[in-house]
Amino acid sequence: MILASLRANVPSSRPFALATVAGGFVALVHASLTWPLAATLAIFGGGAVAAFVAEAIVIARDHLEHYIGPTLLGVPVYVLFGWTGVVYVAFRLALLVVDGLPAVAVAAALATTYDLLTDHRGVAAGYWTYTDDLPGPRFHGVPWWNYVGWMVISSITAALASPFL
Protein backbone atom coordinates (compact mmCIF):
# COMPACT_ATOMS: atom_id res chain seq x y z
CA MET A 1 0.00 0.00 0.00
CA ILE A 2 2.80 2.45 0.89
CA LEU A 3 4.61 1.56 -2.34
CA ALA A 4 1.44 2.19 -4.36
CA SER A 5 0.99 5.62 -2.81
CA LEU A 6 4.68 6.43 -3.34
CA ARG A 7 4.41 5.50 -7.01
CA ALA A 8 1.21 7.52 -7.35
CA ASN A 9 3.11 10.63 -6.20
CA VAL A 10 6.13 10.05 -8.45
CA PRO A 11 6.16 12.02 -11.67
CA SER A 12 6.56 9.91 -14.77
CA SER A 13 9.92 8.21 -14.60
CA ARG A 14 9.90 7.27 -18.28
CA PRO A 15 11.70 10.46 -19.51
CA PHE A 16 14.32 10.05 -16.78
CA ALA A 17 14.97 6.39 -17.61
CA LEU A 18 15.02 7.06 -21.36
CA ALA A 19 17.46 9.96 -20.95
CA THR A 20 19.71 7.77 -18.82
CA VAL A 21 19.68 4.96 -21.39
CA ALA A 22 20.24 7.44 -24.23
CA GLY A 23 23.26 8.94 -22.45
CA GLY A 24 24.73 5.48 -21.89
CA PHE A 25 24.04 4.52 -25.50
CA VAL A 26 25.75 7.67 -26.84
CA ALA A 27 28.76 6.90 -24.64
CA LEU A 28 28.81 3.32 -25.95
CA VAL A 29 28.69 4.49 -29.57
CA HIS A 30 31.47 6.99 -28.91
CA ALA A 31 33.62 4.31 -27.30
CA SER A 32 32.92 1.93 -30.19
CA LEU A 33 34.16 4.52 -32.67
CA THR A 34 37.22 5.72 -30.73
CA TRP A 35 38.50 2.87 -28.57
CA PRO A 36 39.72 -0.67 -29.21
CA LEU A 37 36.89 -3.20 -29.06
CA ALA A 38 38.43 -4.91 -26.01
CA ALA A 39 38.45 -1.64 -24.02
CA THR A 40 34.86 -0.89 -25.02
CA LEU A 41 33.67 -4.35 -24.03
CA ALA A 42 35.61 -4.18 -20.78
CA ILE A 43 34.22 -0.85 -19.60
CA PHE A 44 30.65 -1.36 -20.78
CA GLY A 45 30.28 -5.13 -20.35
CA GLY A 46 32.48 -5.57 -17.30
CA GLY A 47 31.27 -2.30 -15.83
CA ALA A 48 27.63 -3.34 -16.22
CA VAL A 49 28.36 -6.63 -14.46
CA ALA A 50 30.20 -4.88 -11.61
CA ALA A 51 27.40 -2.32 -11.22
CA PHE A 52 24.73 -5.03 -11.37
CA VAL A 53 26.39 -7.15 -8.68
CA ALA A 54 26.90 -4.16 -6.37
CA GLU A 55 23.35 -2.89 -6.87
CA ALA A 56 21.83 -6.36 -6.44
CA ILE A 57 23.68 -6.83 -3.13
CA VAL A 58 22.50 -3.48 -1.77
CA ILE A 59 18.92 -4.21 -2.86
CA ALA A 60 18.99 -7.75 -1.44
CA ARG A 61 20.13 -6.33 1.91
CA ASP A 62 17.12 -3.96 1.86
CA HIS A 63 19.27 -0.83 1.84
CA LEU A 64 17.83 0.54 -1.40
CA GLU A 65 14.55 0.32 -3.25
CA HIS A 66 14.02 1.36 -6.87
CA TYR A 67 10.67 2.39 -8.34
CA ILE A 68 11.59 2.37 -12.03
CA GLY A 69 11.36 -0.80 -14.12
CA PRO A 70 12.02 -3.02 -15.85
CA THR A 71 14.24 -4.74 -13.33
CA LEU A 72 16.36 -7.86 -13.10
CA LEU A 73 16.68 -9.17 -9.52
CA GLY A 74 15.44 -5.76 -8.37
CA VAL A 75 18.07 -3.84 -10.36
CA PRO A 76 16.58 -1.47 -12.93
CA VAL A 77 18.06 -2.12 -16.36
CA TYR A 78 18.48 1.61 -17.08
CA VAL A 79 20.91 1.87 -14.13
CA LEU A 80 23.45 -0.26 -16.00
CA PHE A 81 23.44 2.14 -18.97
CA GLY A 82 23.70 5.18 -16.74
CA TRP A 83 26.49 3.78 -14.61
CA THR A 84 28.71 2.71 -17.48
CA GLY A 85 28.06 5.91 -19.41
CA VAL A 86 29.07 8.09 -16.45
CA VAL A 87 32.22 6.08 -15.76
CA TYR A 88 33.16 6.10 -19.44
CA VAL A 89 32.87 9.90 -19.68
CA ALA A 90 34.75 10.33 -16.39
CA PHE A 91 37.52 8.00 -17.58
CA ARG A 92 37.83 9.76 -20.94
CA LEU A 93 38.16 13.10 -19.12
CA ALA A 94 40.75 11.65 -16.74
CA LEU A 95 42.76 10.27 -19.68
CA LEU A 96 43.09 13.80 -21.04
CA VAL A 97 45.22 14.64 -18.00
CA VAL A 98 46.87 11.43 -16.74
CA ASP A 99 47.39 7.79 -17.74
CA GLY A 100 47.28 4.41 -16.02
CA LEU A 101 46.32 4.02 -12.39
CA PRO A 102 46.13 7.79 -11.76
CA ALA A 103 43.52 8.01 -14.56
CA VAL A 104 41.49 5.26 -12.88
CA ALA A 105 41.59 7.19 -9.58
CA VAL A 106 40.66 10.50 -11.23
CA ALA A 107 37.83 8.81 -13.13
CA ALA A 108 36.47 7.30 -9.91
CA ALA A 109 36.61 10.69 -8.20
CA LEU A 110 34.85 12.39 -11.15
CA ALA A 111 32.13 9.72 -11.35
CA THR A 112 31.57 9.86 -7.60
CA THR A 113 31.38 13.65 -7.72
CA TYR A 114 28.73 13.35 -10.44
CA ASP A 115 26.76 11.03 -8.16
CA LEU A 116 27.20 13.41 -5.24
CA LEU A 117 25.64 16.17 -7.34
CA THR A 118 22.78 14.11 -8.76
CA ASP A 119 21.78 11.13 -6.59
CA HIS A 120 19.81 13.16 -4.06
CA ARG A 121 17.71 14.53 -6.93
CA GLY A 122 16.56 10.99 -7.76
CA VAL A 123 15.66 10.48 -4.10
CA ALA A 124 13.75 13.77 -4.05
CA ALA A 125 11.92 12.83 -7.25
CA GLY A 126 10.94 9.48 -5.74
CA TYR A 127 12.79 7.32 -8.26
CA TRP A 128 14.55 5.39 -5.48
CA THR A 129 14.74 5.36 -1.70
CA TYR A 130 17.54 4.45 0.67
CA THR A 131 15.86 2.21 3.20
CA ASP A 132 18.86 1.31 5.37
CA ASP A 133 19.31 2.15 8.99
CA LEU A 134 23.11 2.09 8.89
CA PRO A 135 24.76 4.73 11.02
CA GLY A 136 26.75 7.53 9.49
CA PRO A 137 26.34 10.77 7.62
CA ARG A 138 23.94 11.38 4.78
CA PHE A 139 23.99 14.04 2.11
CA HIS A 140 20.44 15.10 1.25
CA GLY A 141 19.17 11.65 2.23
CA VAL A 142 21.90 9.69 0.45
CA PRO A 143 24.05 7.60 2.81
CA TRP A 144 27.85 7.73 2.93
CA TRP A 145 28.22 4.13 1.79
CA ASN A 146 26.64 4.98 -1.57
CA TYR A 147 29.57 7.28 -2.36
CA VAL A 148 32.11 4.71 -1.17
CA GLY A 149 30.39 2.23 -3.48
CA TRP A 150 30.65 4.65 -6.39
CA MET A 151 34.39 5.10 -5.74
CA VAL A 152 35.01 1.36 -5.60
CA ILE A 153 32.84 0.27 -8.53
CA SER A 154 33.93 3.23 -10.69
CA SER A 155 37.55 2.30 -10.00
CA ILE A 156 36.91 -1.31 -10.95
CA THR A 157 35.03 -0.30 -14.09
CA ALA A 158 37.73 2.09 -15.32
CA ALA A 159 40.48 -0.38 -14.39
CA LEU A 160 38.83 -3.04 -16.54
CA ALA A 161 39.39 -0.93 -19.67
CA SER A 162 42.78 0.45 -18.74
CA PRO A 163 44.95 -2.49 -19.95
CA PHE A 164 43.45 -2.27 -23.45
CA LEU A 165 44.29 1.40 -24.02
What pLDDT does residue 25 have? 98
What pLDDT does residue 136 have? 97
pLDDT along the chain (165 residues), means of 10: 43 87 98 98 98 97 95 95 97 98 98 97 95 95 98 98 97
Report the distance separating Cα 109 and Cα 29, nearest Å: 24
Helix (H) or strand (E) holding 143: strand 142-143
Integer angstrom CA distances of residue 29 from 37, 91, 110? 11, 15, 21
pTM of the model: 0.91
What pLDDT does residue 8 have? 45
The angle formed by the CA atoms of residues 99, 104 and 107, to the nearest 5 degrees, is 105
The DSSP code for 142 is: E
What pLDDT does residue 19 have? 95
